[in-house]
Every structure is written in C-alpha cells, then in structure tokens.
Structure 1
C-alpha cells in the first residue's frame, strides 16, 4: 500500500517545472502517458485519489482516468501560486473552483458555487464526483432570498446568507462546520490556517471588472498577500484589499448592498470536522 501525505497539496505551486519536481513520479508518468502533459498542482494533490492510497500503478492510473472523466476540472487562476511557500503569501496554492455554469441555473447560482467550492475543499471529496455534490446541494438549497424574514423569493435573485446557512446545515452529518466572523484580521487568521471563507461582494463597487448591476456576488477567499486577497469565481481570481473593503461594506460611502444584506465585513469560515 502506497500512501502520500495530504500536506503535499499546500506545498505545490503551479509552475510546470515545480510540479515536475514535487509531484509524485507515478502521477507525472501517468499524465504524460494519458494526456501528454505535466499535471498541475491540483492534479498532483494526492487527496484526489482514493484518499491518498493505492495498491499499484495500474490502480492509480484507473483512478486518474475516472477522476478526470468526472471532474472537468476548473482550477482557480491563482496568480499567487509562484509565491506559494514563500514569505508574504498565506493560504492555499490552488483550489478546485465551482462556477455558476456547474448548476442547472447559471445566472443566479454564485452562492451555490461558493458553498460547494468551500465544502469540496474542506473535505467532501469522498466520491471523487464534484458534479454529484453540485447537484445534491442545488437540489437541497436552490437559490432563495428571504425579505424581512417573511417573504421568500425563489429562483430569480440568487441566495442570501440564510439560504446558504440552510444548505450548509444540511451537510452537518458529513462533518461540515462553519461560523460567521467579522473583519479583515479575522479573515486573514482563517486563511493562514488554510480555512476557506465565504464572502458576499457588492458588485456595484466593482465596475472595473465588468459588473454592470447593483447585485450581490458570493465568492470564496482562499489566500492573501500584502496587495491582494485571492477569491474564486471572480475575474483574475484576485482583488485588492481596498476593493474588498468597498465591496464588503467596510466603507462608509460604498458597499450598501452588503450592509443591507447583513453581511458587511462578515465571512463564513468553512471546514470539515
């Protein structure tokens, strides 16, 4: 039985040369044979394959074939990857990113995408079938907003924090835990521990990224450095700290959507017990 440490995931960077040096030789060889390329950092993560254990080269090869057939991987374009393991960058080197189009309705499912991204990263990888997890969560907690605690608006406007809490609570039996915290210092503290964090942004403060409407948008923060916080399902997968402050409702004159939503400067840290 061959076993690899899960810690390999956070030690790897995306640079191909780095991958080749740090990735398990069997994985490198199999990706070369099957796909004619070097595996990326996410694919080198041994946690993707039978919980890190296999009995033979051929068994691992079959896992990789099934994994790639099922996943249609979308890995966040982590521009911090080159800094991974160096002073000044804190958090994950790479993260499996779910996006709106992974769900039956693609226009209003950023909340579902963010929660499934966080739960998958936290450890709900047992089936090696992200599509199944996406379907399961969507069916259990589809888009819904509750206005004034009374009126439920389903489907058209996305999801508020109440609906995402409801969805997360549905996975308590599988070990998923979360708590809401406030502030940049608390966010940095969780990211330093490689805990991913759910954040809602007020896109009305972000026209420079092509957002044209005053809406909320859910993302998952997974790392940071002095200039940027790195997030999923967002252009270039990063935003400056000043942009986050405005979109997060941390500014007196901006971020009104986040304030009205009740999530100004708030985030949910998500992990698996």
Structure 2
C-alpha cells in the first residue's frame, strides 16, 4: 500500500513550498549568467566552483530522478524505512535538478567564450571531480550484481552533499584573496538562500503530517544540502555587504585584477 498524506492542507502547503524552492533556486542561476553576458567576462567567477557545481547537480539529478520515477528504488526505500513513509523526493526536486544541470552547462560554456583574465581551473578541483565519478562507477559495479539500487542512488546523494560542501570554498576563498565580490552575483546568493530555507521547511511540513522524522533520515542529502547552502550563503552575504563593500569597483577596473 502506498503511503498517503494525512492532511490535504499540509499536502498543498508542501507542494507550494516545494515549487517556491524550485522557482527561487532555478532563478538563482540567472543573475550570474546575465552578469557574465553583460560584462562579456567571467573574471571573478571561480572556475572550480563551476566544475564542482556541475558534478553536484548531475549527481543530485540522478538521485532525485531515480527516487521519483523508478519503482524498484521506491520499493527498496519502503522496505528500509516503512511502507507508511512517503518517498522524500517531490516532482519539484526533479524539475529543479534538470534545470540546474542545464544552467550550469550554460555557465561553463560562458567560461570558454568570455574574458577569463589569469584565472584557470585548479588541479585540485579536477582531481576531486574525477574522484567523485570514479567512486560513482565503483558503486555501480558493486550494486549491479546484487540489485542494491537504493544504496546506489543514495551514494549519488552522498556525492552531491560532499560536492555542495566543497564547491563554495573556492569562491569564498577567492573573495577573501581579492577582498572583493565583484564578478560574483549577490542576486544568486539571496535567491539561493531563500531556496535553502524553503527546502528545509518543506521537509518539516512532511514530518509534521507523518508524525515522523524518517523523511529527514531517509533523505539526509536534502537536509544537509539545505543546511550547507544556508551556511555558505550567509557567509557570502557577510563578505558582500559587510567585509568587502568598500572594494566594489567598476567592471572596467576589475578586468585589470590579476587573480593568482
């Protein structure tokens, strides 16, 4: 028997919050894309962030799509957490992941066609990315013979959490080195923060309806994603509005900065 919502009102609220998170998180990609387009430059945008972000969103798409669409994965989830528990992935999660992968590819394309200055991709980010996908392949090889599909897609969820934790660090460090946030869109951060808070609230609504916190443990990746996003976005807000507000220079002047 499939799990059901106890309250139709909470179900509606869950959907509203989920699609709100989808909207603000999806829109959050555009300020950076538009800023790059207007400046015809990606100076100030950390390339490691873009690469790590692409790996993060791709792995998250694999997890969300498999959890939402594949019956055997859902069945194994119910075996582990109980058949009364709802699948902890909504259609809005899947829609967001698809959009995020597409927009991150567009941002990566801008890195190749616009002015880059002295910036380049680090070996560390490349090694981390290769390591993440090697780990995914190894997990696939292990899971396939035994049919451990929930374990496999959960590993992709773990990968996206790790990449979320790592991906913000290069940009935060670059801002610190330059003592500036020019070239890094604060609009992206404000929308990203709103999405992180909404994502967390959506999980809370499901827990209230079910009288259980299993959806938090059953989708620990979504929980950690929200918390990590909120923490780093608050850091970027402090950098932009408090620490480095005096260093906001014009784009023309900023092109002369040499990023080591």
* TM-score class, shorter: under 0.3
> Higher RCO, 1 or 2 (CA under 8 Å, sep at least 6)?
2
Greater share of residues in helix: 2
